[in-house]
Amino acid sequence: MRQFSDLAQAWHRQEPEMSWEGRTIAATALRLHAINFALWHHEDAVRRAGADDHEIARRKRSIDDLNARRNATIEDIDVALLDRFPPNPTARLHTETPGTIVDRLSVLALRILHTDDRFGSRHRLLEEQYDDLFGGLDRLLAGIRDGEVRFKLYRQFKAEGQGSYCALVETRHTEQR
């Protein structure tokens, strides 16, 4: 995760490889970072002045797909850790999972890279937050390894394909006409 920033800089010059081979936790974390990199830039493009409706719709669909892959990849990290370190049922429960922390580190690395305040107080604060979060993850993983801390897998049950949310919006839109 310390290489997230370097990778994101390199990906501005060459498209990231979205399919790291192997099922290692490190490869999965890199795949998550590549997804977040793509999300960041799609979201920037959607907010850009002059983006037309077709581009926004196309990118929003890409964002939805990437978010689904992001959630699945976070879960993959957590599943791999639970397989490697079966939880001690009497250990203290930590409700934020390692996968969600890796995700936060990835997004924070992108925020640091894209900040306009490269040498100012904002940049220093973001770097401090990254270091704090990285240290917290390191301590959490040590606690999990030592059987002092456990976490649960929290599944993201998204409403994809259910239609009820779209139906609600469509009904409201029709009623407003």
- What is the per-residue pLDDT across 29-67, written as a single tens digit (0 to 9) for each? 999 999 999 999 899 888 889 889 999 999 999 999 999
State how many domains the chain has. 1
pTM of the model as a whole: 0.82
Select from 107, 90, 96, 89 the least CA-distant residue to 139: 96
Query: Residues 21, 27: contact at Cβ < 8 Å?
Result: yes
Q: How far is CA 43 from CA 51, 67, 131, in A?
A: 11, 11, 26
Q: What is the pLDDT of residues 81-131, one digit of tens each?
A: 999 999 999 999 999 999 999 999 999 999 998 887 777 899 899 999 999
Question: Which structural domain range is residue 85 located in?
Answer: 3-175
| Burial 81-96, CB ≥16 within 10 A → b, else e | bbeebebeeeeeebee
pLDDT value for 6? 66
